[in-house]
Structure 1
Amino acid sequence: MTRFLLLAGAAFATITASLPADARDLWTPTQAKSWYGKQPWMVGANYTNRGAINQFEMWQPETFNPQQIDQELGWAQDMGMNVMRVYLHNMLWENDAAGLKQRMDQFLQIADKHKIRVLFVLFDSCWDPNPVAGPQRPPIPGVHNSGWMQAPGAARLADASQYDKLEGYVKDVVGTFANDKRVLGWDVWNEPNNEGGGGGSYKPTPNKTALVAGLLGRVFDWARSVDPTQPLTSGVWIGEHWDKAETLDAVERIQLSQSDINSFHDYNWPEQWETRAKQVLSYGRPVFCTEYMARGNGSTFDGSLPLGKKYDIAMFNWGFVDGKTQTRMPWDSWKKPYTYEEPTVWFHEVLRADGTPYRKAEVDLIKRLTTEANGTRRR
């Protein structure tokens, strides 16, 4: 670990030299550790209720479903989960800011009832780059996440005249809940340097990484300007050497220099997960693993979750209840839809739509590890 700390110190010095002078100070590693030391070991999922295909269906008034959310978060509580990572969208705010915030408050009431705190995601670079509000298209049969929408979307990302709206969204949403103990934190941008995914189904956004690199630091600054009591983060997800400054792209430098709590994604075998976890831990800050668990890719609960407990890393697997996102289907379903047969092994998701476990042993493991950790937790 000493070697990792030395490498990370050099990387951090290089990164922070380019921070904007007027940015609000991020937490020091000591402040971050102090905050984290007051938390239980956090285990949960990336959550979309089963009746929603994407962020719009989850939050728009016509399809917002508090009864279903209440039922599903009850299932999560029963298995020991105490956090959820939940996606928003800037267009939801543009079209109905007051309504979005009201429904966010209602969601937080339900989550709090079940002793679950929420890590909200503000922007996302994955899947469809051309988001459209209103009624959403139905799922493509047999295809993984066929209706998910990027935020802010290609058009708004490329048009600097739209940035005032994005600033308004960030400041209003974060500012409204800046002192809310039900909010765990703010994941300001999911996989910002992701080209999109979808197996070539979507046209790539020209100069996307450069555009995101020009905007991501502003998003951090906007969020910090309203003085949230919760941590900010954005997770690294691709690459092999996150502890070496020379291998980081412009987006990753911002992520690792402006996150109060560092975070990462890993959908690989436990050996690779552990290597990546050590790289992110080397910065001397607490760590969230905000995405993992893709069974067909070698990422499983029994492989990664005990390592999360060992290294005291908050763990958010992808998917909770099987539904319209169809992420039980593997990534290759974009090229060969599973229309005639179910995948032999579910890729993501913990529960079937009726609440029964896909694999009871996984639910038993989650319950056992969280009970063990939080029965003795806090240093």
Structure 2
Amino acid sequence: MKRNFTTVVFMLIFVQLFAQNKINDSLPVPGQWSVERINQWYENQPWLVGCNYYPATAINQIDMWQASTWNPERIDLELSWAADMGMNTLRVFLHDLVWADDAKGLYKRMDQFLDICQKYNIRPWFVFFDDCHFPNPKLGEQPLPVKGYHNSGWVNSPARELAERYARGEATPKEIGSLKGYVQKTIKRFKNDERVLMWELYNEPGRGTGEEGDMGAAKVNSKIGDQSKQLVYDSWVWAREVNPSQPITSTSAGSVGETNIRINRINSDLHSIHTYSGPKGIRKQVSEFKKNGRPVIVTEWLARDQGSTVDDCLTVFKELQVGAVNWGFVSGKSGTIWNWKSRTDEHGNRSVKHERDNGNVVQPGEAFPEPKIWFHDLFRFDGTPYSEDEIKIFKRLTGKK
């Protein structure tokens, strides 16, 4: 009995040592590109202009990629609009549940997506993990969008509960192996694919919902902060072990938690930062991130009623030779034409469960309601621009006639 107990204890210790790496958030994980190498790579790219992309028919990452809702025809149509205005890259979110359910099918769809992008001379990159918005992702039919609500269906990857258990060292070997396989096998599959621009490991770790909210479950904490740090660090170890031909980044500015930010900032080949401020704020933030000599891509911007506008900001990005990838493209199920404040009411919260239970949703085929001033996005579902003048600015600055 004593021997069996001792054996179990040693096995548990071994599993933990094997599963998770000791965090060293003061030094890079081995394999980071040199400053000279990443700058040479960046100089060989065009001025990178694009958007965070998912089709208007998808409410979240799962909706975009699972087989039952995969819509290449709609993607082809929307990317023709992107190419026509001069976009040459896209930031695209994957989801671990889709991979775990059908990795072979996901890779087939990714290949099809990359072929469509190549048709329009667009080189996208993929994002693996995301701590933003609703905590309980599920495969299958996704919920209908709540009217006038910013991102009523965007989900965490991995699920919040799993990310928190991972942080405490309580994830099972199977769960850890699945997350590691998701990152490593996906990068290996495309590590020498010239259609892929780069890789981004984690979008805004620690962010949480941004405000109180629910999705058919109990209310969740607004921000989770450094509870993500172990998965953030391990994602770097996993990716560097594969050593793809493309550079690797992970969100620095925009994340929550000092350790999360430090790990990503120290290890990124080039910086992925988010800024929803106007020109003055952009200049200050970009200057601060360029101090270590690495290129910068602003991978989220455009919040019109906060001063982050096409008119004021796109020229600044080009002047600074900073990549410009705004949030959103075509107004659709995500509802991101609505301000972040649309997620609150006079009591400080709008429950999406309550809204759906009361039928306040956009039904299939129903037009999406619009605020007077859009927050994100550039086109309506039918392809008409929110602002013709904005599209002209994109075309002028990207050299599209």
What corresponds to 1:237 in structure 2?
Answer: 253
Match of 1:302 among 311, 315, 318: 311
- The answer to whether the Cα contact below 8 Å between 1:262 and 1:286 also exists between their aligned partners in 2 is yes
Match of 1:168 among 174, 181, 192: 181
Change (3 A) 1:342 1:173: same
Once the two structures are superposed, residues 120-172 of structure 1 have per-residue CA deviations (whole angstroms, 9 ceiling, x without a partner) of 11011100011111111111111111000011121221232222210010001
In 2, the alpha carbon distance for the partners of 1:303 and 1:163 equals: 44
SS in structure 1 opposite 2:67? coil
What corresponds to 1:153 in structure 2?
Answer: 159
What corresponds to 1:68 in structure 2?
Answer: 74
* Rg comparison, structure with higher value: 2
Say what the alpha-carbon RMSD is for the aligned residues. 2.3
Once the two structures are superposed, residues 73-110 of structure 1 have per-residue CA deviations (whole angstroms, 9 ceiling, x without a partner) of 00100000000111001111111110111100100000
2:144 counterpart of 1:138: yes
SS in structure 2 opposite 1:103? helix
Which range is displaced more, 101-110 or 151-160? Answer: 151-160
AA in 1 matched with 2:246: Q
2:358 counterpart of 1:345: no
- The answer to whether the Cα contact below 8 Å between 1:154 and 1:205 also exists between their aligned partners in 2 is no
Structure 2 residue runs without a partner (length 5+): 1-22, 166-170, 361-367
In 1, the alpha carbon distance for the partners of 2:146 and 2:80 equals: 29
Once the two structures are superposed, residues 283-342 of structure 1 have per-residue CA deviations (whole angstroms, 9 ceiling, x without a partner) of 210111000001011111122111111111111000001111111111111114797973
In 2, the alpha carbon distance for the partners of 1:279 and 1:355 equals: 38
Match of 1:362 among 383, 387, 390: 390
* 1:248 positional shift: 7.8
- The answer to whether the Cα contact below 8 Å between 1:125 and 1:190 also exists between their aligned partners in 2 is yes
AA in 2 matched with 1:163: I
What corresponds to 1:18 in structure 2?
Answer: 26
AA in 1 matched with 2:202: W
In 2, the alpha carbon distance for the partners of 1:321 and 1:109 equals: 20
- The answer to whether the Cα contact below 8 Å between 2:209 and 2:222 also exists between their aligned partners in 1 is no
User: What TM-score do you get using the length of structure 2 for normalisation?
Assistant: 0.83
* 1:17 positional shift: 7.3
- The answer to whether the Cα contact below 8 Å between 2:206 and 2:227 also exists between their aligned partners in 1 is no
User: What TM-score do you get using the length of structure 1 for normalisation?
Assistant: 0.87
In 2, the alpha carbon distance for the partners of 1:307 and 1:30 equals: 25
In 1, the alpha carbon distance for the partners of 2:25 and 2:97 equals: 34
Paired residues for 1:1-80 under 5 Å: 18-19=26-27, 23-80=29-86
Once the two structures are superposed, residues 252-272 of structure 1 have per-residue CA deviations (whole angstroms, 9 ceiling, x without a partner) of 110111101111000112211
SS in structure 2 opposite 1:193? strand
Which range is displaced more, 191-200 or 349-358? Answer: 191-200
In 1, the alpha carbon distance for the partners of 2:224 and 2:179 equals: 17
SS in structure 1 opposite 2:183? helix
Change (3 A) 1:206 1:303: closer
What corresponds to 1:335 in structure 2?
Answer: 344
Change (3 A) 1:63 1:198: farther
- The answer to whether the Cα contact below 8 Å between 2:301 and 2:327 also exists between their aligned partners in 1 is yes
Match of 2:196 among 180, 183, 193: 183
- The answer to whether the Cα contact below 8 Å between 1:264 and 1:291 also exists between their aligned partners in 2 is yes
What corresponds to 1:11 in structure 2?
Answer: none
What corresponds to 2:226 in structure 1?
Answer: 210
Once the two structures are superposed, residues 149-201 of structure 1 have per-residue CA deviations (whole angstroms, 9 ceiling, x without a partner) of 01112122123222221001000111101111111111110011213224444
Structure 1 residue runs without a partner (length 5+): 1-14, 240-246
AA in 1 matched with 2:119: K
In 1, the alpha carbon distance for the partners of 2:25 and 2:86 equals: 42
- The answer to whether the Cα contact below 8 Å between 1:199 and 1:332 also exists between their aligned partners in 2 is no
- The answer to whether the Cα contact below 8 Å between 1:50 and 1:353 also exists between their aligned partners in 2 is yes
SS in structure 2 opposite 1:34? helix
What corresponds to 1:316 in structure 2?
Answer: 325
Change (3 A) 1:327 1:111: same
